Each structure stands twice: as C-alpha cells, then as structure tokens.
Amino acid sequence: MRFTRRHPLLTAVLLCALAVLAARPADGDGAHAPGHGSASGVGAEVARLYEEAAAATEQYETGRREAEEQRARAQRLERRLERERRETAGLHEDLGRIASSQYRDGGGLPLTAHMLLADDPEELMRGQRVVRQAEVSLDKAIGRSERAEARLARDEAKAAAAWKRLEKRNTELAALQQDIERKLEAARWKLQGQADASVAAGACRGAVRLDQPETRFTTRWVAPVETYELSASYGSGGARWANRHTGQDFAVPIGTPVRAVGSGRVVRVSCGGAFGIAIVLRHTDGYYTQYAHLAAVAVDQGDRVSPGQWIGQSGTSGNSTGPHLHFEVRVTPEMGSAVDPVSWLARRGVSL
C-alpha cells in the first residue's frame, strides 16, 4: 500500500531525470548545448572587423591607383613640354644662322642701301621675307613655349598638391588598415580561445548570427570561402590522418566567413573530436557537405540555408596544425563516405 502511494512520485522523478539527460548534448552535437542561440559578441566583432579590413584594403588600393595615374599625367606633361623646348631651340638656331648670314653680307646697312647695291634686288627681297617669316615663327614659338611653361607650372603645382593629398590619404588608410588588422588578429585569437574551450568541454557555445553580405548569388553552387589558398587535398597522405585525407583544405585566417556551397539543411552542429567545431549540411541532391575546424557557427541544427550564406567562421579547432577550413563531401552524414570535393564542385560549375 505504501509502495503504491510512492510509485507515482518515483515515476515523476524518473521522467524528470530522463528529460534532463535528453537535454544534454550528445558528444557536443546538435542545438541543445547551454546558451545555444545566444550571440557571442566576439564572433560578430571578428566578422565586422573582417569586412572593415577588406574595405580599408580596397580604399588603399584605389588611392594607390589614383596616385599612379596622377604621376603618369605629370610625366606626360613633362614629355610634351620637352618636345616644345626642342622645337623652340631649333627655331632659335635657324634664326641665328640667318642673322649671321645677314651680318656677313652687310647686315648693318639699311634695306634701301642693300637694294641699291644688290645685283638682284628681287632676290634680296625674297631673302628679307624669309628673315621676317623666321622672326615671326620664332616669336610664335617663343610665345607657345612660354604659354606651355606657364601651363606646365600650373599643372605641376596641381599635380604636386594632388600627389601630396593622395600620399596623406594613403598614409592614413595604411594606418587605419594596420589598426584594423591588429584588432582583427586579437579578436581572431580570442574567438579561437572560445572555440578551444568549447571543444574541450564538448559543448558548442551557440550560434553567432552574422549579418549576411549583400551579395546575392545567381548560381546554385559556390566555393565554401571567398578567397583562399588550397592546401591538403583529397586523398593525400600524411602523419596527421589515419589513412588518407578525406577532404579539401582551404588555408584561410581565423574568423573567415564560411559559406554554404549550396542550398540545404543543417543536419549536425558538433563540437569536439578530431574535427573540432563542425557543421554538416544535407543538400537537395542528397549529398552532404562538412565544414570542420571552425572557430564559431552561425546556424542551428535544422536551419535551412541558401548558396553563399555564411554558416560559420573558420578556425583551427580540433586536430588542426593551423587556421584552415576542412571541406568534405559525403554520400552520408557520417565519416567514411567521402568523395573528392574538387571534382564534385567542378561538376556543379565551381572551379577551385
């Protein structure tokens, strides 16, 4: 009788215990880790600094190109003026020869005396016309040269001022870029520290919802990261893997936005083990893609994703020798079913 009265209470206790166990993360998988869905701040800061660094670099490169164009314009002006200087010098030489000839032929006499003494007055007049034409041409050349000199002086002053402004702007941009890079590097390793703590605990810190880029992809498939260097490839050997490398590694800095290569659904978010923080997607064609060694995730298990959507940030969690993204394509969500990701993407129009 006593047992009968206590049985409902025992049943309730067991049910509560089962509910608590069910709420705990199984090997760090899924969206059940404590705090999941809360924003980490550091991941969002890394993403923001990442974008600011890219924008500062683009501004610096634009300023550098403008400075090169300004220098090229100044050089073209200098070459043009040099040509006009040579032309003027040639006219001076011609006039000098004519004057010397006149002096030898009695250039000091008045024109009337020349005509009276000349054997051929008509020839003399033609000579005088040549002299006057040479003088007029020289006057024009001198005027043109003086105007060109004045124009060049103005253009050089403008170019010098523009160059100075560009140099100042580029110096400021370079300083801004370095400051952003310093902050970004510090934030990256802080983010990685959080990732390492999550992996050690076997529980994800939670999705960091990132502001998605404005880019809208018109293709169904994209590369998993925007800029990268390919490192370890599919099937390559090495001491770090039990058999062969099962994916394609993309060498990228910590915090680099990682993109879904195609539309699909998040079937797993895990923390711990050799892959560290990892995401597995199932795509509409039945294939699965894995994104491993992350520093943070931006999606929850069960989320729908679109091509190019930021789903996480790269890192060096788990069994990793340096910052990179391990990208894998599988026919099932589990290890051991990987296919060559480079050729798989190539068949979908993505060339790495």
Helix (H, G, I), strand (E, B) or coil at 222: coil
Amino acid 310: pLDDT: 95
User: 212 CB contacts (<8 Å, ≥6 apart)?
Assistant: 309, 310
Q: Pull the structure tokens for residue 274.
A: 């050799």
- The DSSP letter of residue 212 is P
Q: What is the pLDDT of residue 297?
A: 95
Strand partners, 282: 265, 288
Q: How far apart are CA 3 and CA 57, in angstroms?
A: 75
45: closest CA among 177, 175, 186, 179?
186
Which pLDDT does position 101 carry in this prediction? 59
Segment-wise mean pLDDT, segments of 10 residues, the chain, 352 residues: 36 34 36 38 84 82 80 75 72 65 53 53 61 70 74 74 77 83 87 90 82 82 94 74 80 95 96 93 97 95 95 94 95 93 96 92
pTM of the predicted model, to two decimals?
0.61
* Residue 122 pLDDT: 65
Token duo for residue 102: 């006149």
What is the spatial distance between Cα 223 and Cα 327, in angstroms, rounded to a whole number? Answer: 10
